[in-house]
Amino acid sequence: MNTKIHHKCKVQVRNEGMWPSYHPCKFKGIIERDGEWYCKKHDPVAIKEKYEQQDKLDEEEYKRKDEQWQRDIAMNHYCKNLTTEYMETHQAKTK
C-alpha cells in the first residue's frame, strides 16, 4: 500500500504572454520550508543561495574591473611622460 503523500510545489509560475497570469508549478514538492512545499527549482533557500552566489560573483567582477581601472590609470600616468617612440622601442625589446 502506498501511503506516501505527494505534495505539490506551491509556487505560482508566470505564464508566457502579454498579460500577467499564473499557473501552479507542475513539479512535485520535495522540500518543506515553514510548512510549505517546494520543488527543487523553487526551493526558497536554494534561490537565496543562488542570489548570494550571484552577488559574490558580481562583487568579484566589480573588484576585478576596479583593479583594471586602477591599473589603466597607473599605466596612463606612467606612460604620460614617455614618448611614443620610447614605448615602441621598449616594446620591441620585450618581444
Q: Is the CB of 25 or the CB of 46 nearer to Zn ion?
A: 25
Q: Does residue 11 interact with Zn ion by CB under 5 A?
A: yes
* Span from 34-42, 44-52, 57-65, 80-88 in contact with Zn ion (CB under 5 A): 34-42
Q: Does residue 37 interact with Zn ion by CB under 5 A?
A: no
CA pair distance 29, 93, nearest whole angstrom: 65
Q: Cell numbers for 8, please give them.
A: 505539490
Q: Does residue 31 interact with Zn ion by CB under 5 A?
A: no
Which of 40, 34, 33, 29 has the alpha carbon at shortest distance from 4?
29
As beta bridge partners, residue 12 has 24
| Chain residues that interact with Zn ion, rule: CB under 5 A | 9, 11, 25, 27, 39, 42
